[in-house]
């Protein structure tokens, strides 16, 4: 399958590295935003064509799908462009940074019948797969999830410490991961949500600290704390409080509540969540089915974030 990757930044490179492990996939074009960086990444990954024009990349012979790993403000418009070109779509989280564009994208996917998936990697990370398998198998029932997402983002830099031309968002990006994971792991919709936020950063124009409490219809709850003011350690830590044990996850490490290490290395064909998302995307295309993390599935997550945005903006 011939594909386009859009995005020459830190996560674009992570996707390209993961694609090297996926069989029968050929990246034939790279769409970028900065000429020198796009040219360098295309050279480093042996991609035969590159352009700053996504349409030109999508028009390369034989292209069937596109992976968008571009700045958040571009996601919705570029996703629409990919679907309008008749190509299957993978768009990194978030699929949009507002509810109107999210709804329009979901409607477009339904109208085209194309495969469209959002990069909610937590569904695929081995520790969360381990929990999900236990829940589906009836071995665990989640009572509460406690999640802390802590970063230090007082300036616009990416994961490589390089300057960004856009501003990352605590709610529409980072909270989206955990809101979706709570829904996915419990298998229930969120019926109640309450949120507060700290002051808006005068330079970045975004909330830097946020607290979110959620509840499902059956009474399962989630406490989510997020900060861009946290000067280490960085990352997201998850605590699953279940009817039959407590478990913690941090990146690919999994432990019981008593500190016992749980080996999750054999959960899937890889421990790389990005690679596992890609494999799901391509398999869904080939099998003509809805992918895990489809645009349709993620729309309700975006609806919850719209409620939170309205609460914190009051």
Selection from 63, 65, 41 nearest residue 52 by Cα:
41
pLDDT tens digits for 25-50? 999 999 999 999 999 999 999 999 99
Q: What is the per-residue pLDDT for 159?
A: 67
Q: At what angle do helices 75-84 and 99-112 cross, to 10 degrees?
A: 10
Q: What is the per-residue pLDDT for 163?
A: 80
Selection from 284, 78, 271, 277 nearest residue 177 by Cα:
277
**Domain residue spans in the chain?**
2-119, 125-267
CA 120 to chain centre: 3
Cα–Cα distances in Å, from 37 out to 72, 139, 230?
18, 48, 30
Q: What is the mean pLDDT of residues 287-299?
A: 98
Would you say the C-alpha torsion 253, 267, 95, 4 has a positive or negative sign? positive
Asked if the model's pLDDT at residue 296 lies above 90, the reply is yes
Q: What is the per-residue pLDDT for 166?
A: 84
Task: Write the class of the CATH domain 2-119.
Answer: alpha beta
pLDDT tens digits for 62-81? 999 999 999 999 999 999 99
Q: Which listed CATH number (3.30.1490.20, 3.30.70.260, 3.20.20.140, 3.30.360.10) goes with 125-267?
A: 3.30.360.10
Q: What is the per-residue pLDDT for 142?
A: 98
CA 210 – CA 148 distance, rounded (Å): 10
What stretches of 88-172 adopt beta strand conformation (E)? 88-92, 116-119, 142-150
Q: How confident is the model at residue 17 (pLDDT cuts 50, 70, 90)?
A: very high
Asked if the model's pLDDT at residue 257 lies above 70, the reply is yes
Q: What is the mean pLDDT of residues 94-109?
A: 97
pLDDT tens digits for 140-159? 999 999 999 999 989 888 76
Yes or no: say if 59 and 82 are a contact pair by the CB < 8 Å rule. Answer: no
Please give the angle made by the CA atoms of 11, 13 and 18, to the nearest 5 degrees: 95
pLDDT tens digits for 176-227? 999 999 999 999 999 999 999 999 999 999 999 999 999 999 999 999 999 9
């Amino acid at each position: 399958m011939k594909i386009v990757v859009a995005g020459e930044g830190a996560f674009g490179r992570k996707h390209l590295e993961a694609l090297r492990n996926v069989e029968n996939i050929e990246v034939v074009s790279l769409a970028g935003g900065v000429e020198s960086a796009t040219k360098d990444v295309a050279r480093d990954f042996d991609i035969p064509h590159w352009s700053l024009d996504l349409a030109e990349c999508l028009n390369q012979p034989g292209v069937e799908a596109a992976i968008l790993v571009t700045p958040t403000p571009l996601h919705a418009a570029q996703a629409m462009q990919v679907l309008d070109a008749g190509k299957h779509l993978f768009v990194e989280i978030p699929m949009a940074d507002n509810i109107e564009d999210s709804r329009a994208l979901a409607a477009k996917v339904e109208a085209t019948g194309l495969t469209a998936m959002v990069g909610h990697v937590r569904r695929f990370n081995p520790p969360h797969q381990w929990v999900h398998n236990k829940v589906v198998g009836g071995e665990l029932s989640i009572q509460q999830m406690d999640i802390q997402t802590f970063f230090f983002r007082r300036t616009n830099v990416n994961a490589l410490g390089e300057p960004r031309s856009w501003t990352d968002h605590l709610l529409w990006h980072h909270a989206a991961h955990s809101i979706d994971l709570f829904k996915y792991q419990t298998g229930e919709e969120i019926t109640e949500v309450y949120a507060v936020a700290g002051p808006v950063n005068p330079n970045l124009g975004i909330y830097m600290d946020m607290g979110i409490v959620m509840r499902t219809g059956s009474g399962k709850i989630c406490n989510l704390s997020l900060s861009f003011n946290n000067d280490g350690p960085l990352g997201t830590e998850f605590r699953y409080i279940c009817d039959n044990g407590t478990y913690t996850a941090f990146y690919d490490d999994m432990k019981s509540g008593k500190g016992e290490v749980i080996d999750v290395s054999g959960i899937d064909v890889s421990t790389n969540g990005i690679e596992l998302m890609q494999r799901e995307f391509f398999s869904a295309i080939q099998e003509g089915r809805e992918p895990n993390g489809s645009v349709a599935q993620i729309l309700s997550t975006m609806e919850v974030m719209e409620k939170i945005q309205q609460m914190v903006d009051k």
